[in-house]
């Protein structure tokens, strides 16, 4: 094993949109969503929206079809496959929901790439309606973090991952994200870790306000092509620094760069 854990946010990091908005817009419920948004937490609202869509006759298959059309940069899938092939342990920490994430990963053949998905529960009930629940049940107690939304503190999840890794020997973390919810976990990273904020997105803005608060090395990225190049370069840098090379791992790195050459710029 490479001794590297790569933690991905999902919305606007692995996929190029917000999955909640994508489904709501794709099923024609944007106006109702915007009307209800000021009245309840986002996570609670998504459960309500699934109820409304179900009552309008929208099925799980309708939701799945919208999810299959979710935009994803063409270099994201090779980036994930490359990191996995290099022996990294890949995980997801996302404020989306399990049903959306699993459906999209399955559609792109990425289900087996991730060892763990930390997100809001999402499942189909007996009536065939998608239910979405909070990761942290804030109706009973607060997670106590003022930086994060009431249903999920990603920093607490990172601390749990760090604690579990401590029992396996020191491993380095690489964290990729875009939103304000990715700031708290970025603060939890230690020296020797890496954070990859998406440039000109909320987490990047927050980090830029006071870079000294971040102990991890920061490498910004703009799109899937840049993410792939930087992520693989960081992984190779960690290999070099730890002198982990053996003939087999050196060969593996070389074959990865041959299989996934740096692409030409894709016009948007």
Domain ranges of the chain: 4-245
Question: In this structure, are residues 132 and 43 in contact, taking their beta carbons and an 8 Å threshold?
Answer: yes
Q: For residue range 224-240, what is the model confidence (pLDDT) as tens digits? A: 999 999 999 999 999 88
Q: Catalytic residue at 9?
A: yes
Is 223 annotated to bind a ligand? Reply is no
Is 205 annotated to bind a ligand? Reply is no
Average pLDDT over residues 149-175: 91
CA distance 106 to 112: 9
One of 11, 47, 89, 182 is an active-site residue; which one? 11
The matching CATH number, chosen from 3.90.920.10, 3.40.50.1000, 1.20.1090.10, 3.40.1030.10, for 4-245 is 3.40.50.1000
Please report the pLDDT score of residue 167 as a whole number. 83
Q: For residue range 241-253, what is the model confidence (pLDDT) as tens digits? A: 876 544 454 545 5
| Percentage, residues of the chain above pLDDT 70 | 89
Predicted confidence band of residue 168 (pLDDT cuts 50, 70, 90): confident
Please report the pLDDT score of residue 2 as a whole number. 58
pTM, rounded to two decimals: 0.89
One of 9, 47, 182, 193 is an active-site residue; which one? 9
Q: Which residue has the tokens 């102990």?
A: 215
Q: Catalytic residue at 182?
A: no
Give just the sign of the alpha carbon dihedral 243, 249, 250, 252: negative
Is 20 annotated to bind a ligand? Reply is yes
pLDDT above 60 (res 116): yes
Is 137 annotated to bind a ligand? Reply is no
Question: In this structure, are residues 89 and 5 in contact, taking their beta carbons and an 8 Å threshold?
Answer: yes
Predicted confidence band of residue 194 (pLDDT cuts 50, 70, 90): very high
Residues 6+ apart with CB under 8 A from 6: 83, 88, 89, 90, 91, 173, 174, 176, 231, 235
pLDDT above 90 (res 185): yes
More confident residue, 189 or 250: 189
């Amino acid at each position: 094993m490479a001794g590297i854990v790569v933690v991905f946010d999902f919305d606007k990091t692995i996929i190029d949109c917000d999955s909640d908005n994508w489904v709501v817009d794709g099923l024609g419920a944007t106006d109702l969503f915007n009307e209800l948004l000021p009245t309840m937490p986002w996570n609670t609202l998504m459960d309500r929206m699934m109820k409304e869509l179900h009552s309008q006759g929208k099925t799980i298959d309708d939701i799945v079809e919208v999810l299959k059309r979710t935009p994803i940069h063409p270099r994201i899938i090779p980036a994930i496959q490359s990191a996995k092939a290099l022996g990294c342990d890949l995980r997801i920490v996302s404020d989306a929901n399990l049903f959306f994430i699993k459906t999209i990963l399955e559609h792109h053949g990425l289900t087996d790439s991730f060892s763990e998905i930390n997100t809001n529960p999402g499942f189909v009930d007996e009536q065939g309606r998608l239910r979405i629940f909070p990761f942290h049940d804030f109706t009973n107690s607060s997670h106590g973090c003022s930086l994060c939304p009431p249903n999920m503190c990603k920093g607490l999840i990172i601390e749990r991952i760090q604690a579990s890794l401590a029992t396996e020997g020191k491993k380095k973390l690489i964290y990729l994200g875009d939103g304000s919810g990715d700031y708290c976990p970025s603060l939890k990273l230690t020296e020797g870790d890496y954070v990859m904020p998406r440039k000109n997105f909320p987490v990047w803005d927050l980090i830029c306000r006071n870079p000294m608060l971040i102990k991890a090395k920061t490498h910004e990225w703009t799109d899937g092509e840049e993410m792939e190049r930087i992520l693989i370069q960081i992984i190779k840098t960690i290999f070099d620094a730890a002198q982990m090379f053996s003939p087999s791992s050196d060969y593996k790195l070389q074959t990865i760069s041959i299989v996934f050459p740096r692409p030409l710029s894709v016009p948007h």
